[in-house]
Amino acid sequence: MRAFPLFFFLLCVVPALWGNHITVCPSCHIHSIQAAVDQARPHDTVFVMQGTYIESPIRILKPLHLIGQMNPTLDGGGKKQSIFAVQTDSFSIDGFHFTNVGLSYTSEIAAIFVANSKHFTLSNNQMDHVFYGIILQHVKYGHLLHNTVEGKAIDETSSGNGIHIWKASHIHVEDNHISGMRDGIYFEFVNKSKILRNTSQNNVRYGLHFMFSNHDEYHHNEFRNNGAGVAVMFSKFIKMHHNIFHYNWGTASYGLLLKEINDADIKWNHFVQNTIGINIDGCNRITYENNDFVRNGWALRFTGGCYTNVFKNNNFMYNAFDLSYNSRVNNNLFNSNYWSEYNGYDLDKDGVGDVPYRPVKLFSYIVNKTPETLVLLRSLFVDIINFSEKVSPVFTPDQLVDKSPLLKPVPIPPTPNKM
Amino acid sequence: MLKILKYSIYDLLRSRWSYIYFIFYLILGFVLLFLNTDIDKAIITLLNIIIVLTPLIGTIFGVMYYYNSREFTELLLAQPIKRKNIFLGQYIGVSLSLSLSLLIGLGIPFVLYGLFKSASIFDFVLLIVVGTFLNFIFVALAYNIALRTENKIKGFGFAILMWLMFAVIYDGVFMISLFIFNEYPLDKFALIATMFNPIDLSRILILLKLDISALLGYTGAVFQKFFGTSFGLLISLSVLTLWVLLPVWSIMHISGKKDF
């Protein structure tokens, strides 16, 4: 794995040194990118100078390096075809500006469409007014770096995803900015890949959408103000850490939706002002450590059978509800968390409260049964029944306790998503 | 009436209760802002207090003032002054002095902590407006009770019961009925039910501005659609006004007929 960057570097640099250079500009002898691509021999480099090129599709079927100088604009002319349709190994596309990719309800059209490829880099591209930004299909060992995709999506049916990857492995998605698309980043059947330092915001549906993808990790990303937050579904062995999930606020929003996730690690994340911090549905053997849950509607919401999850050293601060639980406790463990609503004492001054904390309040139990009762939130009556339930628990699961609640919040450094 | 109003305000300004009330709000404001410097969060905490305490203090103060000034009232009644003016003057005097304590007591700390620079000034203003409404409503209701009951102990008992009814029991019944009928669509019912309780109405009015709108799901959408618009705000403020006007009308009606 350590040799990989070097290998990759050679892959990029060596052809650039030995291959030929072809220059394309609007007033040059070669003024169409497709013509340059057709003329080039494998491993040549095509330089595209500043200007606007109305071309689509540009088919690339041999290993090439396309480099945009001073951000040339590739205009799809609103046609229902991808601008770049690539089907080859060892290529790179760098520094272009894509616009005007047509919308289709039946086929997937993108600024860059890559199929059946290995060892490629897509970097420093900007995309706006595109249906899909980047689509990868059946690929391996790809790098998507420093791309920007901006859309103005209005609804889910007439919009596409920023970065859409289907059937792939070993993909690195790093430092991209995606906003205003349907899903910011979409992963389906993508294994052993990494999503690092991306920003995904204001998307109609999910900031990040994971389906059937195993052994992936994503960290130092920011997911902000997306229609429904981030969804991770039907996946195993995912590492999620140092991410920020915030302002995913709406009637059907959450910071993070976990559905049928097993053996994941969720650490050092910040969940701030989401309607639901994490919605957990049928997830087993997940470790939640050192996460910050601040001012969410529900910090955690369990909605299905979940077994052997461990919650340790998390901060639950100023959430309307810390926890909502609609099934049995099923040996999920809460230990050594900080709860801002904890009002026990610590006689031996070891920083751990002497009285266990029960995170499920009676009102949260009632709201689970009859959601309409939520209009009574913060009413004196609710405070009274919560208090009486706390004194003698009758309805709330009595095994669900944090036996050693912390008295001071765990210091969790803010996560810079630019490193 | 203005003269009576003036005298009853002077009277209240001389009594230490309005100062205690004023100092209580002052300390409360400073402590809240000292504990969490975030004005936004302080407003949420303040909401809880205003929703519970303003009605309670309004109720007790109203009843107390009526019984205390009974002799003076009888003296006034012997003069050629309209009954309406006497009672209205007293009522407005009490409500105004309570509202002033609330406004100044909370206003000073919040302004000192930079309210005018904060984005939550609108929420704060709404909170004060709602608090003032609650003062006027509950003093009026308390006056009604006091006018109807000669016995002081009984009067206090009824007044506290009335407060308990609006602050706690109503919500309890409301919750139980939501619980029992949860097979039916309840959002319209919930919306209407809140209109019949000024405390619930004020609470939801502020909460929707603050934090819960998104938590409410479908019901929330209905509520947000209603209260979130300026039309809804207008409606709820007029319902609150109605909650003031009806008891005031009743005060005038009873005081007109009552044999002192």
Q: What is the pLDDT of residue B217?
A: 59
Which candidate in A370, A372, A386, A395 is best for mutational testing of the B interface (most B CBs within 10 A)? A372
Find how far residue A84's CA is from the centre of its chain.
25
| Interface contact B167, partner A, CB < 8 A | yes
**Residues of B in Cβ contact (< 8 Å) with A251:** 214, 216-218, 220-221
A24: closest CA among A46, A57, A55? A46
Question: Which pLDDT score is estimated for A417?
Answer: 59
In a domain, A273, yes or no: yes
Size of the A and B interface in Cβ pairs below 8 Å: 87
Q: In the prediction, which pLDDT does A367 show?
A: 85
Q: Is B160 on the interface with A (CB under 8 A)?
A: no
Task: Collect all residues with Cβ–Cβ distance below 8 Å to A208 and sequence separation of at least 6.
Answer: A183, A184, A185, A187, A195, A200, A218, A221, A223, A230, A231, A232
Q: Could you tell me if A115 and A138 are in contact, meaning their C-beta atoms sit under 8 angstroms apart? A: yes
Write down the pLDDT at residue A419: 44
User: How far apart are alpha carbons A164 and B87 in whole angstroms?
Assistant: 73
pLDDT under 70: residue ranges of chain B: 1, 37-38, 40, 210-221, 228
- A250 and B CB contact within 8 Å: yes
Q: What is the three-class DSSP state of A324?
A: strand
Give the pLDDT confidence of B21-57 residue by residue, as tens digits: 889 889 988 888 888 766 767 777 788 888 888 999 9
Q: Which residues fall within 8 angstroms of residue B147, CB to CB, at 6 or more apart?
A: B66, B87, B251, B254, B255, B258
Q: Tell me whether B186 touches chain A (CB under 8 Å).
A: yes
Within a domain: A400: no
Q: Is the dihedral of CA B71, B72, B78, B81 positive or negative?
A: negative
Give dist(CA A318, CA B138) in Å, integer: 31
Chain A contact for B200 (CB, 8 A cutoff): yes
Tell me which chain A residues have a C-beta less than 8 angstroms from the C-beta of B190: 372, 375
Of A250, A370, A381, the CB nearest to B171: A381
Strands A110-115 and A84-86: parallel
> How far separated are the first and last CA of chain A, in Å rounded?
21
Residue B195 touches partner A, C-beta closer than 8 Å: no
Distance CA A59, CA A82 (A): 9
CB contacts of A380 in chain B (<8 Å) are: 51-52, 167-168, 171
For chain B, domain boundaries: 2-257
Q: How many C-beta neighbours within 10 Å does residue A119 have?
A: 19
Distance (Å) from the alpha carbon of A219 to chain B's nearest alpha carbon:
27
Please confirm whether the linkage preceding A57 is cis (ω < 30° from 0): yes
Task: Find the radius of gyration of the CA atoms of chain A.
Answer: 25
Chain A: closest CA distance from residue B188 (Å)? 10
Calculate how close chain A gets to B256, using CA atoms only, in Å. 37
The SS3 assignment for B110 reads helix
Q: Is residue A49 part of a domain?
A: yes
Radius of gyration of chain B measured on its C-alpha atoms: 19
CB distance from A376 to chain B under 8 Å?
yes
Minimal CA separation from B235 to chain A, in Å: 18
> Residue B54: helix, strand or coil by DSSP?
helix
What is d(CA A179, CA B9) in angstroms, rounded to the nearest whole number?
59
In this complex, which of A249, A251, A375 lies closest to B204 when CB atoms are compared?
A375
Terminal Cα distance for chain B, rounded: 20
Do A381 and B190 lie within an 8 Å CB cutoff?
no
CATH number, domain of A102, equals 2.160.20.10
> What residues of A are in contact with residue B203 (Cβ under 8 Å)?
378-379
Is B219 within 8 Å of A381 when comparing Cβ atoms?
A: no
Distance separating alpha carbons of residues B162 and A341, to the nearest angstrom:
31
Please report the sign of the dihedral spanned by the C-alpha atoms of residue A384, residue A390, residue A392, residue A398: positive
Closest CA to A216 of A229, A203, A199, A233: A233
Distances in Å between the alpha carbon of B124 and those of A351, B41, B173?
36, 11, 30
Residue B135 backbone phi and psi in degrees, to 5: -55, -55
Residue B210 at interface with chain A, using a CB cutoff of 8 Å: no
Across-strand partners of A300? A278, A323
Is A398 part of any domain?
no
CA separation (Å) from B198 to B166, B235, B237? 8, 13, 10
* The pair of three-digit structure tokens given for residue A285, joined into one six-digit string: 């053997």
Q: Does A249 touch chain B (CB under 8 A)?
A: yes
Query: Three-class SS of residue B109?
Result: helix
How high is the pLDDT of residue B165?
94
Nearest CA in chain A to B170: A381
- The neighbour count for residue A44, using CB atoms within 10 Å, is 21
pLDDT tens for chain A, 419 residues long, are 455 555 555 555 554 555 788 999 888 888 899 999 999 999 999 999 999 999 888 999 999 999 999 999 999 988 889 999 999 999 999 999 999 998 888 888 999 999 999 999 999 999 998 999 999 999 999 999 999 999 988 888 888 999 999 999 999 999 999 999 999 999 999 999 999 999 999 999 999 999 999 999 999 999 999 988 899 999 999 999 999 999 888 777 889 999 999 999 999 999 998 889 999 999 999 999 999 999 888 899 888 788 889 999 999 988 888 888 876 666 889 999 999 888 888 998 898 999 899 888 888 888 888 888 888 888 889 989 988 888 888 877 777 889 999 999 999 888 765 54
Angstroms from B153 CA to nearest CA on chain A: 25
Alpha-carbon distance A373 to nearest alpha carbon in chain B (angstroms): 6
Helix (H, G, I), strand (E, B) or coil at A212: coil
Q: Is the Cβ–Cβ distance between B56 and B167 less than 8 Å?
A: yes
A147 found inside a domain? yes
- Domains held by chain A: number: 1
- Inter-chain contact A251–B211, Cβ cutoff 8 Å? no
A146 burial via Cβ count (<10 Å: 0-12, 13-18, 19+): middle
Answer whether A372 sits within 8 Å of B215, measured CB to CB.
no
Query: Can you give the pLDDT at residue A194?
Result: 95
Report how far residue B204's alpha carbon sits from residue A376's, in angstroms, rounded to the nearest whole number: 8
Task: Give A228's contacts in chain B (Cβ within 8 Å).
Answer: none
Compute CA distances A310 → A305, A344, B176, whole Å. 14, 22, 35
Residues 6+ apart with CB under 8 A from B45: B32, B36
Give a three-class secondary structure readout of A348-410: CCCCECCCCECCCCHHHHHHHHCHHHHHHCCCHHHHHHHHHHHHCCCCCCCCCCECCCECCCC
Query: Considering CB atoms only, which of B168, B186, B221 is closest to A380?
Result: B168
Q: Report yes or no: B46 at the A interface, CB cutoff 8 Å.
A: no
Token pair, residue B190, equals 């919930």
Examine residue A56 and state whether it is found in any structural domain, yes or no. yes
Which positions in chain B touch A317 (Cβ < 8 Å)?
Answer: none
Position A332 in a domain: yes
| A60: containing domain | 3-345
Closest alpha carbon within chain B to A380: B168
How many angstroms separate the CA atoms of A304 and A397, rounded? 15
Q: Is residue A397 part of a domain?
A: no
Output the pLDDT for position B88.
Answer: 87
CB–CB of A103/A127 below 8 Å? no
Residue A111 half-sphere exposure, CB side, CA atoms within 13 Å? 29
Structure tokens at A24: 């394309």
CA–CA distance from B16 to each of B23, B68, B91 (Å)?
10, 14, 18
Pick B190's closest partner by Cβ from A253, A375, A377. A375
Which element (helix H / strand E) includes B22? helix B16-35
| Cross-chain CB nearest to A318 (options B41, B168, B217) | B41
| Distance between CA atoms of residues A49 and A72, nearest Å | 6
Distance CA B56, CA B142 (A): 10
